[in-house]
A = this chain, B = another copy of it.
Amino acid sequence: MFSQINEHINRCVDFTDAEIMIFNNLLIPKYIPKKTLILQEGEVCNFEMYINKGCIRTYYIDPKSNEVTLQFAIEDWWVSDIGSFHDRKPSKLFIESLEPSEVLMLNPETKEKLLKEAPKFERVFRLMIQKNLTRLQDRFLQTVTTTAVEKYLDFIERYPTIPQRVAQHYIASYLGFSPEFLSKVRTKLSRGSVIRE
């Protein structure tokens, strides 16, 4: 149950067996059925969730009811609304499972305890957020500089397993355009790559 996450955190910082033990004892395992709403807009997010198995989606709904997918999280990823979690303020985001999922959770109390008893974890979380930040930066720049075709091609290259696991309109909402247009992009691409004789 903990082997995957232990390997995950050991990739960037070296921990002693004692530290790992403290960590594992604080993690709360949970099973989440398919299509379950885990966090609603307006609620304070009280978890950081590591995914052992499954697929979880974070999204935002704007005042005009446009839905934007912020993240697809699969095996070996973390999900949370880090801002809401840390500042104890209401989230703007929704989080839901797209597949039945097995997760390991920290809540504000256990995370604080962890950082107190094993301060080296401070570094793990900094590195994690740092990676998130640079990825989001790239995504932001891509969003304003590229076309729908380029975005879609980059997505399937970067996350080749996701299109097989989630409905297409979720991908459109991740890439920032309408499901109809994604469909058109896809037919255009497949037409273009057909070999004529």
A positions within 8 Å CB-CB of B: 60, 62, 64, 66, 68, 70, 82-83, 86, 92, 119, 122-123, 125-126, 129-130, 132-134, 136-141, 143-146, 176
Contact = CB atoms under 8 A, between A and B. Distances in A.
> How many chain copies?
2
A138 B60 CA distance: 10
A108 B190 CA distance: 47
Contacts of A92: 138, 141
A130 B62 contact: no
A141 B60 contact: yes
Given A82-B133, A133-B129, A139-B140, A145 B68 contact: yes
Classify the interface of chain A: helix, strand, loop or mixed. Answer: helix
Contact of A122 (B66, B68, B126): B126
A66 B146 CA distance: 10
A62 B141 CA distance: 9
A143 B144 contact: yes
Contacts of A137: 70, 83, 136
Contact of A129 (B64, B129, B141): B129
Indicate the member of A68, A70, A129, A132 with the most B CB atoms within 10 Å.
A129
A145 B130 CA distance: 25
Contacts of A133: 82-83, 129, 132-133, 136
Contacts of A62: 141, 145-146
Q: What are the nearest 3 A-B pairs in CB distance?
A: A83-B134, A62-B145, A144-B176
